[in-house]
Chains A and B, each alone.
Chain A
């Protein structure tokens, strides 16, 4: 096994190779043990400063990164564009360079524009972790999703995973497809055709237009949130209709005659893509995903810290 990442930044899953992903998973195994100890902190990054730059709203990802950073003993500064000079018209590069002048080693960034973290990596001298760039990639989410599947099933190879919902607007979907395919899983997508990217099949995934068929095929359903904030034009008639056709509820799961696992990257629109009885049931590994998110982010931060020059 390689003991070093092949990349200097985590910009997207498509820049990683299989041994990078396995190295991240094996490292995360150690951190998962550490975050379940009475003392959940290690001193590995005590000389490192990390800036969390969130140019877009986030609760879970931001908290998860922040707690991962603190468990590694890094110094953390937080920035969110809502309360910053970005509102006064400052450019991304200026904002980031000003923050780097304060001697920051790692930047964790979420940005509404696809490619923002790639742009940044070409222009600044700090390690960068993409925490979501528009509708492009969200690599740590894909890693924690795949890690959660590996934890439950032991292996990901040849598992069947369907991603249900708004694939068009979802960075989680794209990163998940790259990651799961690389790990040897079979991947499908399911949702209204208006919410599917035009070239989705070129990524080597199957498409199901009917939810029931998709659920009969799969071992695991990763259910996406309907992203109301990213829809400029109405792509389906109403939330109620969406919930009727693509919402997962107890009835449809009971009709399958088999157990499937339900995942969701959060936040859930309860009663739209998932009903509460499913989200809180034993089918769901949603809270395991959240816990694994901290371990995965600790692993990524730890491994990238070796790349600090």
Chain B
């Protein structure tokens, strides 16, 4: 039987996004030397919300890109399902920039490891930070920790975290599936 439980509703998500934006502003001020890089496919929606909110608050356009990590993953040919790349949009140099990587869920840390590799062809960043909406802190395979966290949850491997973030804020919702 599949049992599902809501972790965050749309109002809570909105409060968290607002808080993350202010934490980012604390460290990046006007974002003139910062590039926000979302990980495809699911980091993109989270990043869009954050970028929209940031641009409203600081009044500047923010440099951003969407990174596909398929070719850098460490599980190529180990999955039964082939890994299909996503359309990348990285018309931005990260050379000497402060980069903030955004993803929806931090789980094993392997995607973030791949993302750091995938980022290097676009220049040598001054620094890289990590922002995630959900941190499944008990499931890490690699020594990778986020700098900005929406919510920390304790979950086991058989559980699944589903992040539904849409342009329509009212439908936003994060659930955990237990099987």
Q: Give the interface of A toward B (CB within 8 A).
A: 3-4, 23, 26-27, 29-30, 33-34, 37-44, 47, 72, 302-303, 305-306, 308
Contacts and interface: CB of A to CB of B under 8 A. Distances in A.
Contacts of B90: 33
A30 B66 CA distance: 13
Given A42-B71, A306-B77, A308-B77, A37 B121 contact: yes
B117 A39 contact: no
A244 B84 CA distance: 49
Contacts of A23: 84
Contacts of B153: none
A37 B123 CA distance: 10
A47 B121 CA distance: 21
A38 B121 contact: yes
A37 B122 contact: yes
Given A39-B120, A42-B71, A43-B71, A4 B85 contact: no
A37 B68 CA distance: 14
A3 B82 contact: yes
Contacts of B88: 30, 33
Contact of A44 (B71, B86, B123): B71
Contacts of A38: 121-123
A23 B85 CA distance: 10
A30 B68 contact: yes
A30 B87 contact: yes
Contacts of A44: 70-72, 76
Interface centre among B68, B71, B88, by most chain A C-beta atoms within 10 angstroms, is B71
B72 A42 contact: yes
B84 A27 contact: yes
26 contacts: A3-B84, A4-B82, A23-B84, A26-B84, A26-B85, A27-B84, A27-B85, A29-B87, A30-B70, A30-B71, A30-B86, A30-B87, A33-B90, A39-B120, A42-B71, A42-B72, A43-B72, A43-B117, A44-B70, A44-B71, A44-B72, A47-B77, A302-B71, A303-B82, A305-B76, A306-B77
A305 B77 contact: yes
Contacts of A306: 76-77, 82-83
Given A3-B82, A4-B82, A30-B85, 7 more contacts: A4-B81, A38-B121, A41-B121, A42-B71, A47-B77, A303-B82, A306-B76
Interface centre among B72, B82, B86, B121, by most chain A C-beta atoms within 10 angstroms, is B82
A41 B68 CA distance: 14
A284 B122 CA distance: 31
Contacts of B70: 30, 44
Given A30-B88, A44-B76, A39 B121 contact: yes
Contacts of B76: 44, 305-306
Nearest to A303: B82
Contacts of A33: 88, 90
Interface string B41-70: 000000000000000000000000000101
